[in-house]
Protein backbone atom coordinates (compact mmCIF):
# COMPACT_ATOMS: atom_id res chain seq x y z
CA UNK A 1 0.00 0.00 0.00
CA UNK A 2 2.88 2.36 0.73
CA UNK A 3 4.45 1.54 -2.61
CA UNK A 4 1.25 2.32 -4.50
CA UNK A 5 0.91 5.57 -2.58
CA UNK A 6 4.39 6.63 -3.60
CA UNK A 7 3.58 5.95 -7.26
CA UNK A 8 0.81 8.55 -7.25
CA UNK A 9 2.14 11.67 -9.04
CA UNK A 10 1.70 14.69 -6.76
CA UNK A 11 -0.68 17.42 -7.87
CA UNK A 12 0.75 20.91 -7.92
CA UNK A 13 -0.40 23.22 -5.16
CA UNK A 14 -1.33 25.93 -7.65
CA UNK A 15 -3.55 23.46 -9.53
CA UNK A 16 -5.44 22.61 -6.34
CA UNK A 17 -5.90 26.27 -5.48
CA UNK A 18 -7.00 27.09 -9.04
CA UNK A 19 -9.60 24.31 -8.92
CA UNK A 20 -11.01 25.71 -5.66
CA UNK A 21 -11.16 29.22 -7.15
CA UNK A 22 -12.96 27.91 -10.23
CA UNK A 23 -15.52 26.12 -8.08
CA UNK A 24 -16.16 29.30 -6.10
CA UNK A 25 -16.50 31.35 -9.29
CA UNK A 26 -18.99 28.89 -10.78
CA UNK A 27 -21.11 28.96 -7.63
CA UNK A 28 -21.10 32.77 -7.64
CA UNK A 29 -22.11 32.75 -11.30
CA UNK A 30 -25.06 30.49 -10.56
CA UNK A 31 -26.10 32.75 -7.67
CA UNK A 32 -26.02 35.80 -9.95
CA UNK A 33 -28.18 34.01 -12.53
CA UNK A 34 -30.76 33.14 -9.86
CA UNK A 35 -30.74 36.74 -8.62
CA UNK A 36 -31.50 37.94 -12.14
CA UNK A 37 -34.56 35.71 -12.22
CA UNK A 38 -35.93 37.50 -9.15
CA UNK A 39 -34.93 41.05 -10.11
CA UNK A 40 -38.49 42.01 -11.14
CA UNK A 41 -40.12 40.46 -8.08
CA UNK A 42 -41.01 42.31 -4.93
CA UNK A 43 -37.85 43.32 -3.00
CA UNK A 44 -37.00 40.90 -0.23
CA UNK A 45 -38.59 37.82 -1.79
CA UNK A 46 -35.26 36.11 -2.45
CA UNK A 47 -33.63 37.32 0.77
CA UNK A 48 -35.93 35.29 3.01
CA UNK A 49 -35.08 32.00 1.26
CA UNK A 50 -31.53 32.78 0.13
CA UNK A 51 -29.84 30.13 2.36
CA UNK A 52 -32.19 27.46 0.99
CA UNK A 53 -31.57 28.59 -2.60
CA UNK A 54 -27.81 28.44 -2.07
CA UNK A 55 -28.17 24.99 -0.53
CA UNK A 56 -30.09 23.80 -3.61
CA UNK A 57 -27.40 25.15 -5.91
CA UNK A 58 -24.66 23.41 -3.92
CA UNK A 59 -26.69 20.18 -3.98
CA UNK A 60 -27.06 20.37 -7.77
CA UNK A 61 -23.33 20.96 -8.18
CA UNK A 62 -22.60 18.01 -5.89
CA UNK A 63 -25.09 15.80 -7.74
CA UNK A 64 -23.61 16.38 -11.18
CA UNK A 65 -19.95 16.54 -10.14
CA UNK A 66 -18.87 14.70 -6.98
CA UNK A 67 -21.69 12.14 -7.05
CA UNK A 68 -21.24 11.19 -10.70
CA UNK A 69 -17.55 11.79 -11.44
CA UNK A 70 -15.81 12.18 -8.02
CA UNK A 71 -14.56 15.57 -9.21
CA UNK A 72 -15.71 19.16 -9.01
CA UNK A 73 -16.14 21.37 -12.06
CA UNK A 74 -12.84 23.13 -11.42
CA UNK A 75 -11.02 19.83 -11.07
CA UNK A 76 -12.50 18.54 -14.33
CA UNK A 77 -11.21 21.62 -16.12
CA UNK A 78 -7.72 20.97 -14.74
CA UNK A 79 -7.72 17.20 -15.35
CA UNK A 80 -8.12 16.36 -11.66
CA UNK A 81 -10.47 14.28 -9.56
CA UNK A 82 -10.76 13.09 -5.97
CA UNK A 83 -9.36 9.79 -4.76
CA UNK A 84 -10.37 8.32 -1.44
CA UNK A 85 -7.83 5.51 -1.27
CA UNK A 86 -4.10 5.05 -1.91
CA UNK A 87 -4.90 3.63 -5.34
CA UNK A 88 -4.99 6.48 -7.89
CA UNK A 89 -7.57 4.67 -10.05
CA UNK A 90 -10.18 4.43 -7.28
CA UNK A 91 -12.64 7.26 -6.80
CA UNK A 92 -14.66 8.26 -3.77
CA UNK A 93 -16.74 5.75 -1.89
CA UNK A 94 -20.47 6.26 -1.40
CA UNK A 95 -19.88 7.07 2.25
CA UNK A 96 -17.35 9.78 1.37
CA UNK A 97 -19.71 11.26 -1.23
CA UNK A 98 -22.59 11.45 1.27
CA UNK A 99 -20.38 12.99 3.94
CA UNK A 100 -19.11 15.48 1.37
CA UNK A 101 -22.70 16.51 0.56
CA UNK A 102 -23.61 16.69 4.26
CA UNK A 103 -20.72 19.02 5.05
CA UNK A 104 -20.82 21.19 1.90
CA UNK A 105 -24.60 21.49 1.58
CA UNK A 106 -25.85 21.04 5.15
CA UNK A 107 -22.91 22.71 6.86
CA UNK A 108 -23.02 25.79 4.65
CA UNK A 109 -26.79 26.04 5.08
CA UNK A 110 -26.45 25.86 8.87
CA UNK A 111 -23.75 28.52 8.74
CA UNK A 112 -25.98 30.84 6.71
CA UNK A 113 -29.00 30.23 8.95
CA UNK A 114 -27.06 30.56 12.19
CA UNK A 115 -27.15 34.34 11.91
CA UNK A 116 -30.94 34.24 12.19
CA UNK A 117 -30.59 32.81 15.68
CA UNK A 118 -29.48 36.25 16.83
CA UNK A 119 -33.12 37.32 16.58
CA UNK A 120 -34.13 34.62 19.06
CA UNK A 121 -31.37 35.22 21.60
CA UNK A 122 -33.65 37.38 23.73
CA UNK A 123 -36.42 34.77 23.94
CA UNK A 124 -34.99 31.79 25.80
CA UNK A 125 -31.68 30.76 27.27
CA UNK A 126 -31.64 27.71 25.00
CA UNK A 127 -31.33 29.83 21.86
CA UNK A 128 -28.62 31.91 23.50
CA UNK A 129 -26.62 28.78 24.29
CA UNK A 130 -27.06 27.38 20.76
CA UNK A 131 -26.04 30.67 19.19
CA UNK A 132 -22.91 30.91 21.35
CA UNK A 133 -21.94 27.32 20.54
CA UNK A 134 -22.36 27.93 16.79
CA UNK A 135 -20.38 31.18 16.97
CA UNK A 136 -17.55 29.49 18.88
CA UNK A 137 -17.52 26.57 16.46
CA UNK A 138 -17.38 28.93 13.48
CA UNK A 139 -14.44 30.83 14.94
CA UNK A 140 -12.62 27.59 15.69
CA UNK A 141 -13.16 26.43 12.11
CA UNK A 142 -11.67 29.67 10.79
CA UNK A 143 -8.56 29.23 12.93
CA UNK A 144 -8.28 25.58 11.92
CA UNK A 145 -8.63 26.53 8.24
CA UNK A 146 -5.72 28.93 8.51
CA UNK A 147 -3.54 26.31 10.22
CA UNK A 148 -4.56 23.69 7.67
CA UNK A 149 -3.65 26.03 4.82
CA UNK A 150 -0.19 26.61 6.29
CA UNK A 151 0.32 22.85 6.53
CA UNK A 152 -0.92 22.49 2.94
CA UNK A 153 1.63 25.00 1.70
CA UNK A 154 4.36 22.95 3.34
CA UNK A 155 3.22 19.43 2.46
CA UNK A 156 1.08 19.97 -0.65
CA UNK A 157 -1.81 17.77 0.55
CA UNK A 158 -5.31 18.44 1.93
CA UNK A 159 -5.97 21.94 0.65
CA UNK A 160 -9.12 22.28 2.80
CA UNK A 161 -10.36 20.93 6.13
CA UNK A 162 -13.01 19.00 4.22
CA UNK A 163 -10.38 17.01 2.34
CA UNK A 164 -8.44 16.32 5.53
CA UNK A 165 -11.56 15.24 7.44
CA UNK A 166 -12.64 12.80 4.70
CA UNK A 167 -9.06 11.70 3.84
CA UNK A 168 -9.53 12.53 0.17
CA UNK A 169 -7.05 14.21 -2.12
CA UNK A 170 -6.97 15.25 -5.77
CA UNK A 171 -5.12 13.11 -8.30
CA UNK A 172 -4.70 13.39 -12.06
CA UNK A 173 -7.64 11.94 -13.95
CA UNK A 174 -5.49 11.08 -16.96
CA UNK A 175 -1.80 10.48 -17.22
CA UNK A 176 0.10 13.72 -17.62
CA UNK A 177 2.20 13.88 -20.75
CA UNK A 178 5.63 15.49 -20.64
CA UNK A 179 5.38 18.88 -22.28
CA UNK A 180 7.96 19.49 -24.98
CA UNK A 181 8.62 23.19 -25.55
CA UNK A 182 10.91 24.04 -28.45
CA UNK A 183 13.48 26.79 -28.36
CA UNK A 184 11.82 28.57 -31.31
CA UNK A 185 8.48 28.63 -29.52
CA UNK A 186 9.97 30.11 -26.35
CA UNK A 187 11.86 32.73 -28.36
CA UNK A 188 8.71 33.75 -30.19
CA UNK A 189 6.69 33.96 -26.97
CA UNK A 190 9.36 36.08 -25.27
CA UNK A 191 9.52 38.38 -28.28
CA UNK A 192 5.77 38.93 -28.44
CA UNK A 193 5.58 39.36 -24.67
CA UNK A 194 8.25 42.07 -24.78
CA UNK A 195 6.52 43.76 -27.72
CA UNK A 196 3.16 43.72 -25.88
CA UNK A 197 4.73 45.21 -22.77
CA UNK A 198 6.26 47.96 -24.91
CA UNK A 199 2.88 48.75 -26.49
CA UNK A 200 1.14 48.83 -23.09
CA UNK A 201 3.73 51.41 -21.98
CA UNK A 202 3.67 53.46 -25.19
CA UNK A 203 -0.02 53.65 -26.13
CA UNK A 204 -1.17 55.71 -23.09
CA UNK A 205 1.45 58.33 -24.01
CA UNK A 206 0.06 58.83 -27.54
CA UNK A 207 -2.81 61.25 -28.07
CA UNK A 208 -4.70 59.15 -30.62
CA UNK A 209 -7.53 61.67 -31.00
CA UNK A 210 -5.09 64.45 -31.89
CA UNK A 211 -3.32 62.37 -34.52
CA UNK A 212 -6.69 61.39 -35.94
CA UNK A 213 -7.62 65.06 -36.28
CA UNK A 214 -4.27 65.84 -37.93
CA UNK A 215 -4.69 63.06 -40.49
CA UNK A 216 -8.29 64.10 -41.18
CA UNK A 217 -7.28 67.72 -41.75
CA UNK A 218 -4.47 66.65 -44.09
CA UNK A 219 -6.81 64.50 -46.15
CA UNK A 220 -9.43 67.25 -46.33
CA UNK A 221 -6.90 70.00 -46.90
CA UNK A 222 -7.48 70.09 -50.66
CA UNK A 223 -11.23 70.50 -50.21
CA UNK A 224 -10.98 73.02 -47.43
CA UNK A 225 -13.71 75.61 -47.43
CA UNK A 226 -13.16 79.25 -46.52
CA UNK A 227 -15.35 80.25 -43.59
CA UNK A 228 -15.65 83.55 -41.79
CA UNK A 229 -15.03 83.70 -38.10
CA UNK A 230 -18.56 84.98 -37.58
CA UNK A 231 -21.64 83.27 -38.87
CA UNK A 232 -23.06 84.93 -42.00
CA UNK A 233 -26.42 83.31 -41.79
CA UNK A 234 -28.54 80.91 -39.77
CA UNK A 235 -26.97 77.58 -38.95
CA UNK A 236 -28.82 74.52 -40.19
CA UNK A 237 -29.46 72.31 -37.21
CA UNK A 238 -29.24 68.98 -39.03
CA UNK A 239 -26.33 66.94 -37.76
CA UNK A 240 -23.17 67.23 -35.70
CA UNK A 241 -20.06 67.60 -37.84
CA UNK A 242 -18.21 65.15 -35.56
CA UNK A 243 -20.62 62.31 -34.75
CA UNK A 244 -23.14 62.83 -37.57
CA UNK A 245 -26.11 62.60 -35.18
CA UNK A 246 -28.74 65.19 -34.26
CA UNK A 247 -26.73 67.68 -32.17
CA UNK A 248 -27.24 67.63 -28.43
CA UNK A 249 -26.85 71.07 -26.85
CA UNK A 250 -25.67 72.54 -30.22
CA UNK A 251 -22.58 74.76 -30.34
CA UNK A 252 -20.55 76.29 -33.14
CA UNK A 253 -16.96 77.48 -33.51
CA UNK A 254 -17.51 80.29 -36.02
CA UNK A 255 -18.22 78.31 -39.18
CA UNK A 256 -21.42 77.19 -40.84
CA UNK A 257 -21.41 73.83 -39.04
CA UNK A 258 -22.89 72.81 -35.74
CA UNK A 259 -21.56 70.40 -33.10
CA UNK A 260 -22.72 68.58 -30.00
CA UNK A 261 -21.24 70.34 -26.99
CA UNK A 262 -19.69 67.12 -25.71
CA UNK A 263 -18.19 66.29 -29.13
CA UNK A 264 -16.53 69.66 -29.68
CA UNK A 265 -15.47 70.10 -26.05
CA UNK A 266 -13.96 66.61 -25.77
CA UNK A 267 -12.01 67.07 -29.01
CA UNK A 268 -10.76 70.50 -27.94
CA UNK A 269 -9.60 69.19 -24.57
CA UNK A 270 -7.80 66.27 -26.22
CA UNK A 271 -6.33 68.44 -29.00
CA UNK A 272 -6.02 72.22 -28.43
CA UNK A 273 -5.45 72.65 -32.17
CA UNK A 274 -8.67 70.91 -33.14
CA UNK A 275 -10.48 72.32 -36.16
CA UNK A 276 -13.75 71.61 -37.92
CA UNK A 277 -13.44 68.25 -39.74
CA UNK A 278 -15.51 69.63 -42.64
CA UNK A 279 -14.04 73.08 -43.31
CA UNK A 280 -10.94 73.10 -41.03
CA UNK A 281 -12.11 76.15 -39.10
CA UNK A 282 -10.02 76.33 -35.87
CA UNK A 283 -12.02 75.76 -32.71
CA UNK A 284 -10.78 78.90 -31.00
CA UNK A 285 -14.12 79.95 -29.59
CA UNK A 286 -16.96 77.62 -28.71
CA UNK A 287 -20.34 79.30 -28.39
CA UNK A 288 -23.87 77.97 -28.08
CA UNK A 289 -26.32 78.17 -30.93
CA UNK A 290 -29.29 80.00 -29.49
CA UNK A 291 -31.77 80.87 -32.19
CA UNK A 292 -32.06 78.14 -34.78
CA UNK A 293 -34.92 78.05 -37.28
CA UNK A 294 -36.36 74.57 -37.46
CA UNK A 295 -38.55 73.69 -40.43
CA UNK A 296 -41.02 70.85 -39.96
CA UNK A 297 -41.80 69.07 -43.17
CA UNK A 298 -45.39 67.95 -43.44
CA UNK A 299 -46.36 65.05 -45.65
**pLDDT in 10s for each residue of the chain, 299 residues:** 444 555 667 888 888 999 999 999 999 999 999 988 888 888 778 888 888 899 999 999 999 999 998 899 999 988 899 987 766 667 788 899 999 999 999 888 887 877 666 565 555 666 677 778 878 888 898 899 999 999 999 988 899 999 998 889 898 888 766 666 677 878 888 899 888 888 888 887 776 766 776 776 666 554 444 444 444 444 456 788 888 888 888 888 888 888 888 888 888 887 777 878 777 778 788 888 865 554 444 44
Phi, psi of 287 (to 5 degrees): -135, 150
Spatial contact of 150 and 92, defined as CB atoms under 8 Å apart: no
129/235 same-domain check: no
What CATH number is given to the structural domain containing 284?
Answer: 3.30.40
137/231 same-domain check: no
131/51 same-domain check: yes
DSSP string, 163-230: HHHHT-EEEESSPPPPP---HHHHHHHHHHHHHHHHHHHHGGGS-HHHHHHHHHHHHTSTTPPP--SS
Q: Which of the listed residues 156, 172, 188 is the one where a domain comes to its end?
A: 172
In a domain, 184, yes or no: no
Spatial contact of 258 and 237, defined as CB atoms under 8 Å apart: yes
* Domain range enclosing 234: 209-288
Helices (H), the chain: 2-6, 13-37, 45-48, 50-64, 66-69, 73-77, 94-101, 108-113, 125-155, 161-166, 183-202, 208-219, 261-270
Tally the domains of the chain.
2
In a domain, 181, yes or no: no
- Predicted pLDDT of residue 20: 92
- Predicted pLDDT of residue 209: 67
16/163 same-domain check: yes
165/220 same-domain check: no
66/13 same-domain check: yes
Q: What is the largest CA-CA distance in the chain?
A: 98
CA distances from 10 to 7, 114, 178 (A): 9, 38, 14
- Predicted pLDDT of residue 239: 82
Q: Cα–Cα distance between 251 and 285 in angstroms, integer?
A: 10
DSSP-based three-state secondary structure for 252: strand
Amino acid sequence: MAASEENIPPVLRVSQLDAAELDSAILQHLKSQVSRCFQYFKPGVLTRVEPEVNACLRFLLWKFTIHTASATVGQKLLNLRYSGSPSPTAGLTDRQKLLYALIVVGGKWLQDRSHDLAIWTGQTSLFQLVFKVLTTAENCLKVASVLNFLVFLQQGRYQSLLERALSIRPVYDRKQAIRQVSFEYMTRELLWHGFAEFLFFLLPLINIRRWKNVVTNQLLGSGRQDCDVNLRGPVELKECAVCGEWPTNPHDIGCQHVFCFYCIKANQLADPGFSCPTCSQPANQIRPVNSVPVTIMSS
